[in-house]
């Protein structure tokens, strides 16, 4: 992940005064942002940030001008940052830039009133910045429900800046905030403020006092998080509940996403058929149907998974449970150089690496997050299953026990490989300081559904914009490779799908690769299949089918399996042996045969360099492992 | 003694942060500072982190290695 922050120029730079929302994580910043801006939001492109920097232009009361509200990542401190790549580092460099460039800006600190003393430490840092400051106290309702009184007067007096207390659920909140911000924007720049003479603890005790009568219910409210922790963090029940929840989440991504994807797939196929009818079944029709619409279908098929996973992450995070989950699993992952937050993306990757890579945003440590992104493609995603199934049927048909054993072994090798690779990367490519784990375990809260809906919308949009375009482009290139005849290929007297593919640029590439793949037992046909499955692994079956002259191999894999098993070369020897099957399976475990994964890596690391890194290391690993497996299979007497 | 050795549910006061200066400043910004009262609530499974209440209202998961570098004084908690 790059540490150079080229902020999107649209975030700053023109006349609109900037309103920067700042606050500790879990202070309720995204709720305040949602209250203020309603449906408007632009997503800024910041490399390496795990939280999107959203911005929206708002008319202020009593002013002709628009103000630009920016939601910066949550920070504990602006004066101390452990690593410039963390969210904290990004927020700080953003603020430094605003001050250095003398951009017209005001600061709005969102402060959780139920954690007043902790938040006031950040207020102290913000007061040292030469910009107008407004303090917005959230969770007033929680403070009241716990039998305490909140008075802003001592705060206003001590801090010397405006303070407002709000209820996120109160409809008048937006007007209150807008009025306060308008007054702030009209303020002159403060000179140097006097050094604060207050102590955060004492000030918090003045502002928040016990109500004259504290009800039984209020006392119970105060104890609620501790009560819930007793169950959710129980040494036995806690991990069981956590695993159950994670399996449920995994099942949702796996099961709910699948039918939605099928429906989308049927739609795309219908459109494809329509395109071929309108444009003819020549190259143009095929390009639109297979090259473009196929790619668009792939993009759309990922959307439900992205949305489900985003909603789940936001729910877990906003409710306060995510930190508990990380607490429960952290010990088990430490020996592998990973922290508790890496668990969710690693589990999700067994359904699909693409949403999992997006989910790495919950890992706050930049180097750890990069490690997880780089190791994720090794986990056995659902798209590998049809290929595993075909190869197992083709080369190990009639031996169900061996097939089942191999299937389990393939799954486990993905897990072992990703863990080993993580450990190796942590000592090499992603070596560096590991941030100490100090993870706030916030009070349990009921999440704001509007903030979750916003997050899903933003994640979907971001995926289509950043990942979708790369998938479309790759799909078009692959189509050209497999359909356009190689220059200089002789004319085809009896053109068929198989002969067209044999004469394609892709076939030439496949033949050119034969010297590299021959030690693994792959001929050019398998190479073309591998090339075709780069668009998506499940295309391996279809591509091999076309080149073997079998239509609809997806629906009838057994005929393709028979064809592969009985294929002979010109001298009558079997073209493929059991050893070919073994090395092909092993190759598929390691190789990152998936342009969508690569596009997602590009999006989350903001760098083609890491994409190249993943391609090189996974293919090198795949080749070596397939070669070794093929030799071992030979030694074991497999033909 | 260190935070790591503190008996669960026993309150103590932080007396020193034996970590590098930047990390110490960062911890203080979080609220994990000298003089602050801390209570270990529980430990995570598989030798996982400690859940520590810091001050009156905040709880953190703190890994054991770091907890071993935070000196605490149980006697100081009564003040």
Judged by CB atoms closer than 8 Å, whether chains meet at B26 and A440 is answered as no
Give the strand pairing for B37-43 and B50-54. Answer: antiparallel
Question: In this predicted structure, what is the pLDDT of residue A45?
Answer: 52
Ramachandran area for residue A537 (φ above 0: left; ψ -120 to 50: alpha; else beta): alpha
CA distance B54 to chain A (A): 10
Residue whose C-alpha is closest to residue A345's, from A324, A328, A362, A333: A362
Mean pLDDT over A433-442 rounds to 83
Best residue of A438, A443, A444 to probe chain B, by most B CBs closer than 10 Å = A438
Find out whether A306 and A459 touch, Cβ atoms under 8 Å.
yes
Mean pLDDT over A244-259 rounds to 78
Judged by CB atoms closer than 8 Å, whether chains meet at B48 and A334 is answered as yes
Among candidates A80, A226, A441 on the partner chain, residue whose Cβ is nearest the Cβ of B60: A441
Question: In this predicted structure, what is the pLDDT of residue B78?
Answer: 59
Question: In this predicted structure, what is the pLDDT of residue A407?
Answer: 83
CA A434 from chain centre, in angstroms, equals 21
Best residue of B24, B46, B47, B79 to probe chain A, by most A CBs closer than 10 Å = B46
Question: In this predicted structure, what is the pLDDT of residue A511?
Answer: 92
Is residue A323 classed exposed, middle or buried when 0-12, 13-18 and 19+ CB atoms within 10 A define those classes?
A: buried
B59 touches chain A (CB under 8 A): yes
Among A196-200, A277-281, A368-372, A514-518, the least confident range: A277-281
Which tokens is A42 given? Answer: 């632009």
Best residue of B25, B44, B55, B66 to probe chain A, by most A CBs closer than 10 Å = B44
Question: In this predicted structure, what is the pLDDT of residue B56?
Answer: 81
Terminal-to-terminal C-alpha distance of chain A: 46
With 80 as the cut, is the pLDDT of residue A12 above it?
Answer: no
* Chain A environment of B47 (Cβ under 8 Å): 331, 334
A435 touches chain B (CB under 8 A): no
CATH placement of domain A9-217: 3.40.50.300
CA distance A97 to chain B (A): 22
Judged by CB atoms closer than 8 Å, whether chains meet at A437 and B62 is answered as yes
Between CA A104 and CA A110, with CA A105 as vertex, the angle to 5 degrees is 175
Q: Express each pLDDT in A77-94 by its tens digit.
A: 988 887 777 788 888 888
A433 touches chain B (CB under 8 A): no
CA A632 from chain centre, in angstroms, equals 38
CA distance B50 to chain A (A): 8
CA-nearest residue to B36 within chain A is A201
Judged by CB atoms closer than 8 Å, whether chains meet at B48 and A115 is answered as no
How many Cβ pairs closer than 8 A exist between chain A and B?
108
B46 touches chain A (CB under 8 A): yes
Q: Say whether A347 sits in a helix, a strand or coil.
A: helix
Cα A479 from Cα A487, distance rounded (Å): 16
B60 touches chain A (CB under 8 A): yes
Domain spans of chain A?
9-217, 223-375, 466-635
CA A154 from chain centre, in angstroms, equals 43
CA-nearest residue to A205 within chain B is B56
With 90 as the cut, is the pLDDT of residue B61 above it?
Answer: yes
Q: Express each pLDDT in A523-547 by its tens digit.
A: 888 898 888 888 766 677 777 777 7
| β partners of residue A57 | A68
Residue whose C-alpha is closest to residue A75's, from A24, A40, A121: A24
Among candidates B19, B44, B58 on the partner chain, residue whose Cβ is nearest the Cβ of A327: B44
CA distance B29 to chain A (A): 6
Among A130-144, A276-290, A339-353, A375-389, the least confident range: A276-290
Residue A153: pLDDT band (50, 70, 90) is very high
* Chain B environment of A74 (Cβ under 8 Å): none
Give the strand pairing for B58-62 and A105-112. Answer: unpaired
Report the share of chain A in percent with pLDDT over 90: 30
Judged by CB atoms closer than 8 Å, whether chains meet at A117 and B47 is answered as no
Judged by CB atoms closer than 8 Å, whether chains meet at B23 and A82 is answered as yes
With 70 as the cut, is the pLDDT of residue A394 above it?
Answer: yes
Judged by CB atoms closer than 8 Å, whether chains meet at B47 and A323 is answered as no
Between CA A358 and CA A361, with CA A359 as vertex, the angle to 5 degrees is 85
CA A467 from chain centre, in angstroms, equals 11
Best residue of B17, B21, B31 to probe chain A, by most A CBs closer than 10 Å = B31
Question: In this predicted structure, what is the pLDDT of residue A274?
Answer: 85
Mean pLDDT over A249-261 rounds to 73
Mean pLDDT over B29-58 rounds to 92
Judged by CB atoms closer than 8 Å, whether chains meet at B51 and A440 is answered as no
Judged by CB atoms closer than 8 Å, whether chains meet at A328 and B48 is answered as yes
Mean pLDDT over A512-516 rounds to 93
Judged by CB atoms closer than 8 Å, whether chains meet at B41 and A229 is answered as yes
Architecture of domain B3-78: Roll (2.30)
Find out whether A160 and A193 touch, Cβ atoms under 8 Å.
yes
B35 touches chain A (CB under 8 A): no
A441 touches chain B (CB under 8 A): yes
A229 touches chain B (CB under 8 A): yes
With 80 as the cut, is the pLDDT of residue A302 above it?
Answer: no
Residue A7: pLDDT band (50, 70, 90) is very low
With 90 as the cut, is the pLDDT of residue B38 above it?
Answer: yes
Judged by CB atoms closer than 8 Å, whether chains meet at B26 and A82 is answered as yes
Best residue of A327, A333, A444, A445 to probe chain B, by most B CBs closer than 10 Å = A327
CA distance B33 to chain A (A): 11
Mean pLDDT over A53-65 rounds to 82
Question: In this predicted structure, what is the pLDDT of residue A82?
Answer: 78
Question: In this predicted structure, what is the pLDDT of residue A6?
Answer: 40
Cα A240 from Cα A259, distance rounded (Å): 29
Cα atoms in the Cβ-side hemisphere of radius 13 Å centred on A324:
28
Please give the C-alpha separations between residue A567 and each of A118, A230, A562, A637, in angstroms, as whole numbers: 72, 64, 8, 21
Tokens 């190789």: give the residue.
A591
Best residue of A27, A238, A437 to probe chain B, by most B CBs closer than 10 Å = A437
Among candidates B32, B41, B48 on the partner chain, residue whose Cβ is nearest the Cβ of A330: B48
With 50 as the cut, is the pLDDT of residue A470 above it?
Answer: yes
Question: In this predicted structure, what is the pLDDT of residue A8?
Answer: 45
B45 touches chain A (CB under 8 A): yes
Find out whether B36 and B13 touch, Cβ atoms under 8 Å.
yes
- DSSP tag of A13: S
User: Which carries the bigger pLDDT value, residue A540 or residue A460?
Assistant: A460
User: Which carries the bigger pLDDT value, residue A37 or residue B37?
Assistant: B37
Q: Express each pLDDT in A548-583 by its tens digit.
A: 766 666 666 667 777 777 888 778 888 888 888 889
Cα A336 from Cα A112, distance rounded (Å): 35
E strands in A272-316: none
Mean pLDDT over A585-609 rounds to 90
């Amino acid at each position: 992940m790059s540490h150079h922050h080229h902020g999107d120029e649209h975030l700053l730079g023109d006349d609109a005064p900037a309103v920067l929302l700042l606050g500790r994580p879990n202070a309720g910043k995204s709720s305040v942002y949602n209250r203020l801006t309603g449906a408007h939001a632009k997503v800024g492109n910041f490399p390496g940030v795990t939280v999107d920097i959203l911005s929206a232009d708002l008319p202020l009361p009593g002013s002709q001008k628009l103000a630009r509200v920016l939601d910066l990542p949550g920070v504990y401190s602006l004066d101390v940052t452990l690593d410039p790549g963390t969210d904290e580092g990004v927020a700080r460099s953003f603020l430094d830039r605003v001050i250095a460039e003398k951009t017209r800006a005001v600061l709005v600190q969102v402060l959780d009133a139920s954690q007043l003393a902790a938040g006031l430490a950040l207020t102290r840092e913000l007061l040292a910045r030469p910009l107008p400051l407004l303090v917005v106290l959230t969770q007033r309702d929680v403070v009241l429900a716990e039998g305490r009184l909140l008075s802003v007067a001592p705060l206003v007096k001590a801090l010397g800046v405006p303070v407002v207390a709000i209820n996120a659920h109160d409809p008048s909140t937006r007007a209150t905030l807008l009025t306060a911000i308008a007054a702030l924007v009209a303020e002159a720049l403060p000179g140097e403020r006097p050094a604060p003479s207050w102590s955060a603890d004492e000030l918090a005790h003045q502002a928040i006092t016990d109500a004259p009568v504290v009800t039984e219910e209020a006392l119970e409210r105060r104890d609620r998080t501790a009560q819930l922790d007793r169950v959710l963090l129980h040494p036995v029940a806690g991990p069981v509940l956590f695993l159950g929840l994670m399996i449920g989440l995994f099942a949702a991504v796996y099961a709910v996403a699948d039918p939605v994807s099928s429906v989308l797939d049927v739609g795309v196929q219908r459109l494809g058929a329509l395109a071929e009818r309108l444009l003819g079944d020549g190259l143009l029709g095929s390009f639109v149907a297979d090259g473009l619409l196929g790619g668009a279908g792939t993009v759309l098929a990922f959307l439900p998974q992205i949305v489900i996973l985003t909603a789940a992450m936001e729910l877990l995070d906003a409710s306060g449970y995510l930190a508990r989950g990380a607490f429960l699993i952290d010990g088990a992952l430490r020996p592998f150089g990973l922290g508790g937050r890496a668990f969710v993306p690693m589990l999700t990757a067994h359904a699909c690496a693409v949403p999992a890579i997006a989910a790495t945003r919950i890992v706050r440590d930049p180097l750890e997050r990069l490690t997880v992104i780089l190791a994720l493609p090794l986990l056995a995603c659902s798209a590998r299953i049809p290929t595993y199934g075909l190869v197992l049927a083709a080369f190990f048909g009639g031996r169900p026990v061996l097939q089942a054993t191999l299937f389990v072994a393939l799954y486990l090798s993905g897990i072992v490989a990703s863990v080993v690779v993580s450990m190796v990367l942590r000592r090499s490519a992603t070596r560096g300081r590991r941030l100490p784990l100090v993870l706030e375990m916030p009070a349990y809260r009921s999440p704001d559904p509007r903030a979750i809906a916003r997050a899903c919308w933003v994640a979907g949009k971001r995926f289509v914009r950043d990942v979708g375009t790369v998938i479309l482009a790759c799909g078009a290139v692959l189509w050209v490779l497999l359909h356009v005849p190689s220059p200089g290929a002789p004319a085809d007297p009896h053109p068929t799908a198989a002969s067209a593919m044999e004469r394609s640029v892709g076939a030439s590439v496949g033949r050119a690769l034969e010297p590299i793949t021959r030690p693994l037992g792959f001929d050019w046909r398998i190479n073309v299949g591998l090339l075709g499955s780069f668009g998506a692994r499940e295309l391996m079956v279809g591509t091999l089918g076309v080149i073997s002259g079998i239509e609809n191999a997806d629906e009838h894999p057994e005929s393709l399996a028979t064809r592969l098993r009985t294929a002979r070369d010109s001298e009558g020897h079997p073209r493929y042996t059991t050893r070919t099957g073994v090395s092909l399976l092993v190759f598929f475990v390691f190789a990152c045969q998936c342009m969508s994964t690569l596009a997602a890596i590009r999006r989350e690391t903001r760098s083609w360099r890491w994409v190249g890194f993943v391609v090189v290391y996974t293919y090198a690993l795949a080749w070596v492992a397939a070669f070794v497996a093929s030799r071992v299979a030979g030694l074991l007497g497999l033909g | 003694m260190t935070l790591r050795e503190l008996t669960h549910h026993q309150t103590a006061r932080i007396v020193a942060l034996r970590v590098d200066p930047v990390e110490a400043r960062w911890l203080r910004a979080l609220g994990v500072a000298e003089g602050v009262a801390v209570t270990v609530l529980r430990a995570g499974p598989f030798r996982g982190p400690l859940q520590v209440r810091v001050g009156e209202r905040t709880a953190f998961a703190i890994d054991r290695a770091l907890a071993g570098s935070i000196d605490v004084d149980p006697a100081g908690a009564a003040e």
